[in-house]
Chain A
Amino acid sequence: MKGVKILFIPLMGLVVILIMLILSYGTLGYSPAEYIRSLGEFLLRQSFNVFEKEWWVGSPEVITATLWDYRGLDTVYETTVFYLAVIGCVSVFRLLQPKLAEITKEKEEYALTVIVRVATKIVLAVIILISINIALHGHITPGGGFQAGSAFAIAPLLAIAAFSRYFVEKMGLKINLSHALRSLGLIIIALVALLPLFYFGYLLQNQAKPWSPFPGYPIEVSFLELSGSLFHFDIGEYLNVAMGFLAIFLLLSLPERVFKKDMEVVKSES
């Protein structure tokens, strides 16, 4: 046992040095091949190029610009994959009698102590505000729809752990609402992606191009910076991801006895 411990310390040191070497010379330096570097240079040069607006996006945030404009179709497919994954979760955890889910109105004595509950309430407000901030600033600062939705997902998780499932539903975050808002997010994304087609532009077009009649989405409305379609895409993705996670957590937090009671009905019918 002693020998293992003595071996362990230099091993840890070696791992730390290796990780530092990789971080400073491997990925942060010039590790990709030469012909790939030009792609990154192109994105960096063109995404907020005010002088040559042929390929520009109108957003200083190159990552969001790449995600929703240069390879927008890929992100749309990712969004649909997430939507379908949540549908799969819903169909696995479905209840034949949805009224059974109301059993979880538990008594107060099972809640955690006052310290935890007060701290959770403060943190819940901060988390929800910050997630909305990340979503609405996705085209200006680092962040975006998916990141904001993931940040929001912590809120119901914390509320379920510190209070109960019933508390989350009392906050107004019910499962039917989550389905409605999730679909609304997907509809927003689909409409914004399809709108240029009606102007004889091409799919997922953001800004005006010399060879396309679509005039492009507005870059700013009075003092609000919108960066064309990125702002709308971010809102749609935020609704989709946040409400998808909420639906998953609400279903997973159902106690097992609810499902057993549901199964009894199935057995008696068959």
Chain B
Amino acid sequence: MFEVIEWFVFIIGLILITIGAICDLAGALGLVRFPNFFVRLHAATVGTIGGAVIPLFGIALVSAVSSQLGPFRWTVAGGAVIAAFLIMIVAPAGSHALAYAAHKAKVVPVEPKVCDLLEEHEKRKAKEAEKK
């Protein structure tokens, strides 16, 4: 019974690592093919969250059931989970800061665009300031 659970966890870990590889490929393709800075930033974030955080969780699962590693498997698993959480906190904040700063400084054109809520918000604010 216990062995079956171990195999199950092992296969889930492998699937997570495979998802990570696919996300990395998609992120790399998007980084080359997408039309403007903000969408390319989205592709880069797919590469970090999908391509680094998810496979790290997969590595944690795989190493947790690798009995040949002895007690060190918990070191590997714990390290992988902590690194995954750190990347999960840091990567979105970093890409958010990049996008926000690029939009504020108007260094990249938002073209082609469907809607730009930040620009609308700024325009509304400017109008309110004019009324006052």
**Chain A residues with a Cβ under 8 A of chain B:** 112-113, 115-116, 118-120, 122-123, 126, 162
Contact = CB atoms under 8 A, between A and B. Distances in A.
Interface residues of B, number: 9
Q: Which 8 A-B pairs have the closest CB atoms?
A: A119-B93, A116-B97, A116-B93, A115-B96, A119-B89, A115-B93, A122-B89, A123-B90
**Taking chain B's interface residues, is the majority helix, strand, or loop, or is none over half, making it mixed?**
helix
Interface of B: 86, 89-90, 92-93, 96-97, 100-101
A126 to B, nearest CB: 7
**Taking chain A's interface residues, is the majority helix, strand, or loop, or is none over half, making it mixed?**
helix
12 contacts: A113-B97, A113-B100, A115-B92, A115-B96, A115-B97, A116-B93, A116-B96, A116-B100, A119-B92, A120-B93, A122-B89, A123-B89
B89 to A, nearest CB: 5
Contacts of A113: 96-97, 100
A108 to B, nearest CB: 16
A10 B72 CA distance: 41
A112 B86 CA distance: 20
A45 B60 CA distance: 34
A116 B93 CA distance: 5
Contacts of A116: 93, 96-97, 100
A221 B109 CA distance: 63
A119 B94 CA distance: 9
Contacts of B92: 115, 119
